[in-house]
């Protein structure tokens, strides 16, 4: 696991943070309860930084005093990565401010939510102190190591629908829903999700596309399919109009963390907004679908990999049926076919990963037979 010491130049996600900034925040008297004495009394040269996880939009680091024998009280830091230039100039500090605002609203509606807590964030910084995640691994790690189970798949759905249900009930009055949307719509970050999902993937010269000659024929079929492009335009409109509750908006594999005892936490609420529950559900299903095709690739362990690939289809079915089983509260309150109408619409979501453009084509033709 990569680590850095305090006397090194910090060239990880950003050069805009340094240990002096971190120390000054840790030593604030109003946060005495949050940090151990050992870390608060550290000297600059004693601080040790260790990368825990590096995702698409953020990374996690452990910070602790190298002179301490015990590191149980290490501090965990979330560092927000810059957006690619073609997303526009979105300050990282604003993204953390927005995420903090979302988590505050989520705490109000759903105090027992399993979102990763921000202990301390000071506006102007591209980092924040978050709760300790010792013992947690990302869904990506679990899938790549083939360490996954039906229980974990159900735990993820439980966590997701707990948030959906709480915010759906809390905002079932249209005025409440509109008020929440108004509070969260000024940042423009959900618009980035819209761009990645419904625009970038379908433009011939978009800079986000993977440059792979082997995909050119497939991509040309997409670009020249007027029916498909018209459907995408309809989906984009649905993304704006289908408002049900607070959704995460970016449930990729590095935004879902699983503990050894099966506890689930969600990270990265900077794209959260009032939208369709099906969007979150589609993200989860796409994670399994991408893993399915990943493990179909030829390798020295092809038999084991192919067997695990088939289990991904089962996890998709389990997740879909379990969500439907738990969502009866929606049916009781509102006669709504949002799940399948939206979920089937969002079959294009694999492009959301930015790195697997071919998966959209595979998902489009496989989805009807999978579920």
Residue 36: which domain range? 3-130
**Token output for 182:** 């108004």
CATH code for the domain in which residue 335 is found: 3.90.1200.10
Q: Strand, helix or coil at 323?
A: helix
User: Residue 287's beta-bridge partner residues?
Assistant: none
More confident residue, 126 or 319: 319
**Percentages helix, strand, coil for the chain, rounded to the nearest 5?**
55, 15, 30
CA 350 – CA 289 distance, rounded (Å): 8
Of the listed ranges 66-75, 98-107, 186-195, the one predicted with least confidence = 66-75
Task: State CA 144 to chain mean position distance.
Answer: 17
* Same domain as 24, residue 42: yes
**Which of 81, 113, 130 represents a domain boundary (last residue)?**
130
Confidence of residue 333 (pLDDT cuts 50, 70, 90): very low
**Which of 100, 130, 160 represents a domain boundary (last residue)?**
130
* Same domain as 112, residue 141: no
10 Å Cβ neighbour count for 307?
12
* Same domain as 223, residue 82: no
pLDDT at 31: 60
Q: Please write the tens of the pLDDT for every residue from 132-157.
A: 888 899 999 999 999 999 999 999 99
Concatenated DSSP letters for 151-213?
HHHHHHHHHHHHHHHHHHHHT-SHHHHHHHHHHHTTS-HHHHHHIIIIIGGG-TT-TTS---G
* Same domain as 325, residue 222: yes
* Same domain as 123, residue 108: yes
pLDDT at 238: 78
User: Using an 8 Å Cβ cutoff, are 266 and 256 in contact?
Assistant: yes
* Same domain as 231, residue 149: yes
pLDDT at 235 over 60: yes
* Same domain as 252, residue 274: yes
**Which of 97, 130, 163 represents a domain boundary (last residue)?**
130
* Same domain as 126, residue 152: no
User: Using an 8 Å Cβ cutoff, are 101 and 83 in contact?
Assistant: no
More confident residue, 126 or 218: 126
> What is the pLDDT averaged over residues 73-81?
81
| Residue 202, burial from CB neighbour count under 10 angstroms (0-12, 13-18, 19+) | buried
* Same domain as 111, residue 186: no
Q: Please write the tens of the pLDDT for every residue from 42-68.
A: 777 777 778 888 888 888 988 877 777
> What is the pLDDT averaged over residues 224-230?
85
pLDDT at 38: 61
Concatenated DSSP letters for 340-356?
HHHHHHGGGGGGGGSS-
* Same domain as 361, residue 218: yes
CA 202 – CA 205 distance, rounded (Å): 9
Q: What percent of the chain has pLDDT over 90?
A: 24
- CA distances to 114, 120, 248 from 106, rounded to whole Å, are 10, 17, 10
* Mean pLDDT score of the chain: 76
CA 1 – CA 106 distance, rounded (Å): 33
* Same domain as 232, residue 85: no
**Of 95, 149, 189, residue with least CA distance to 315:** 149
Concatenated DSSP letters for 33-77?
TTS-HHHHT--GGGEEEEEEEE-SSEEEEEEEETT-S--TT-EEE
**Token output for 226:** 């007027």
- CA distances to 13, 144, 253, 336 from 57, rounded to whole Å, are 10, 20, 12, 33
pLDDT at 170 over 80: no
Q: Please write the tens of the pLDDT for every residue from 266-313.
A: 999 988 988 888 889 988 999 999 999 999 988 877 888 999 999 999
- Please give the tally of structural domains in the chain: 2
**Token output for 254:** 């590095």
pLDDT at 367: 36
∠ at Cα 265 (261, 271), nearest 5°?
A: 165
CA 200 – CA 195 distance, rounded (Å): 6
* Same domain as 251, residue 192: yes
CA 83 – CA 66 distance, rounded (Å): 32
């Amino acid at each position: 696991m990569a680590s850095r010491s305090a006397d090194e130049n910090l060239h990880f996600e950003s050069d805009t943070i340094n240990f002096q900034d971190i120390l000054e925040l840790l030593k604030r008297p109003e946060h005495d309860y949050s940090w151990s004495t050992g870390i608060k009394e550290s000297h600059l040269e004693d601080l040790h930084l260790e990368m825990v996880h590096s995702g698409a939009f953020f990374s996690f680091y452990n910070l602790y005093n190298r002179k301490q024998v015990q590191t149980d009280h290490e501090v965990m830091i979330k560092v927000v990565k810059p957006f690619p230039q073609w997303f526009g100039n979105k300050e990282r500090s604003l993204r953390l401010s927005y995420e903090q605002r979302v988590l505050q609203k989520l705490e109000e509606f759903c105090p027992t939510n399993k979102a990763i807590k921000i202990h301390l964030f000071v506006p102007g910084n591209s980092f924040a102190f978050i709760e300790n995640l010792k013992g947690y691994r990302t869904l990506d790690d679990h899938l790549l190591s083939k360490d996954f189970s039906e229980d974990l798949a159900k735990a993820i759905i439980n966590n997701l629908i707990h948030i959906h249900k709480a915010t759906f009930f809390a905002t079932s009055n249209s005025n409440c829903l509109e008020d929440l949307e108004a509070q969260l719509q000024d940042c423009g970050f959900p618009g980035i999700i819209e761009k990645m999902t419904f625009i970038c993937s379908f433009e011939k010269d978009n800079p986000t596309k993977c440059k792979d000659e082997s995909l050119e024929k497939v991509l040309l079929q997409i670009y020249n399919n007027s029916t498909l492009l018209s459907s995408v335009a309809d989906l984009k409109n649905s993304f704006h109009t289908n408002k049900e509750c607070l959704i995460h908006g970016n449930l990729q594999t590095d935004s879902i963390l699983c503990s050894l005892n099966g506890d689930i936490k969600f990270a990265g609420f900077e794209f959260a907004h009032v939208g369709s529950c099906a969007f979150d559900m589609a993200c989860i299903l796409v994670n399994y679908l991408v893993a399915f095709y990943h493990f179909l690739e030829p390798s020295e362990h092809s038999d084991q990999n192919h067997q695990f690939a088939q289990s991904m289809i089962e996890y998709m079915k389990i997740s879909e049926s379990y969500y439907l089983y738990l969502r009866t509260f929606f049916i009781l309150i509102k006669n709504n076919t949002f799940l399948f109408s939206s979920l089937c619409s969002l079959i294009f979501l694999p492009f959301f990963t930015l790195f697997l453009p071919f998966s959209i084509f595979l998902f489009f033709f496989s989805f009807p037979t999978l579920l």
